Each structure stands twice: as C-alpha cells, then as structure tokens.
Amino acid sequence: LGARKCNTVSPAFKPSQCRVYANWTLTCIYKSDEILLNQAVRQYARPSRKKQEFPSQLQDLHPSLLKHEYASVPLAQSVDDVVKKLLMLELASHSEKLSLKEEQLIAKVQRGENDRSSTEVKVAILTARIRNFQEHLHKHPKDKANKRWMLMAIDSRKKKLKFLRRTRYDSFKKVCQELGITYTFPPEYYRRVTRRWLAKKAFCNKVFQEVQKQKEEQREKQRSADPKGKEPTSSKEPQGTAA
C-alpha cells in the first residue's frame, strides 16, 4: 500500500505578516482613542429647570392658633404652656391644618352657624381640597391618582357653581368673591380642533368671501345699468280751465 497523503493547511498569514498586522491594529486603536479624547463633549442631558414657588393656602395660618377641635374648648386657653403647645398648629399635621382651613372658608360663605349641607358650604370644602391637590401636584407632577381626584373635584365644583348661578345669582356672586374663584363658561363645542377641520374652515370662509364679492359686483352693475334721469310720472293730467 502506498503511503497516505497528509493534507496540511497553510497559515493565512506568515509570522512577519502577523507582526505587521498586530502593529497596525495597535496603531489604529491608539489613534481612535486619541480622536475620542480630542472630541468635544456634547451635553445631551437637559438642563434642570427651576420650579416656580407655588403659594400654599396654609401660609396665612399662624402657628399660635389652636387646632379646630380645641378652638371652642375654654380650658384650652388656661392650660400649661407645654400642653398648649401640643394643641397649637405648630405641632399639627397637614390634615389638621387643612381641616382648619376648610372651616375658615366655610365660615365665609355659610348661611348660618349650623349650615353644613348647603351648596355654598360644599363649594368651600371642594375649593380647599382642590388647592391642596394643586400644591401637591406641583411638587409631584407624576402622581396620576391625585391628579384624577383633583379633576373630579373640579368637575363637581363646576356643577355646583352652575346650579348656584342658575338658582341664586346673589349667593353665586358672593361665593366667587369670598373664595377667589373665577367662573369660566364651558365651551360651546367639545369637539377636538384638528388640522383638517382648520383647513376646511379656512376654505369655507374663503369661498364665502368670494361669493359676497361677486354679489357686490353684480349689484354695482345693476345700479350702473338703471337710467339715472328718470322721473316718476303722475297718472293725473292737468285739466284745462273753462272759458
């Protein structure tokens, strides 16, 4: 039997070529790093926006005021200073301050001392809650749940103001003035304004103006065609005098 032929695979690069290729790759990497280091730094990050200060409705509440549940208690005025400090708004929670603010707004618009269910009182309570939601959402704009509750409260207050305006306009005017509410009328149409609708509206206005222009030209032609020196003739002829 003849000797078996062995298939030898020749290398793709010779040793000298491998050294040249390695030196070339190292040079390219060094140059690319140098290029990256020399490139100007691009500021892709958005600059931080400074939030405007939102005025809180609880700013006018003095820390020395008593809480709502202790304001009508006569013994709260004669207790020790340490105990009295616990009953003040200085150590009160946010909900306790909000309840006191609601009572202050209710006192401005209620009909009598025991009035707790009239439309004016409900509007005052909703106003205090809406302003509290607005202050919270200014700090936490991504809080969608509280935003939904705020929109529901706004719709409810708008409905009550509409009823109050239709039934008792004097009370409606007083409520808006005392609570600092600006009543805006609802839009006539609730449809969404699209580019197609705007283009169609502009085209209709243009056609209307052209038609009016043509009608005016026709009227001018008719006026110029009429005889100018015509005088109205009388049907009665003058009768002759008898000799």
pLDDT digits (tens, 9 = 90+) for 185-199: 887 877 888 999 999
CB 171 within 8 A of CB 164: yes
pTM tops 0.75, yes or no: no
Using one digit for the tens of pLDDT, what is the confidence trace for 84-100?
888 888 888 999 999 99
> Which pLDDT value is given to residue 167?
95
Write the pLDDT tens digit of every residue in 52-76: 888 888 888 888 888 888 888 888 8
Domains of the chain: 68-179 (1.10.287.10)
Q: Which amino acid is at 115?
A: D
Helix (H, G, I), strand (E, B) or coil at 93: coil
Give CA–CA dist 205/182, Å, rounded: 34
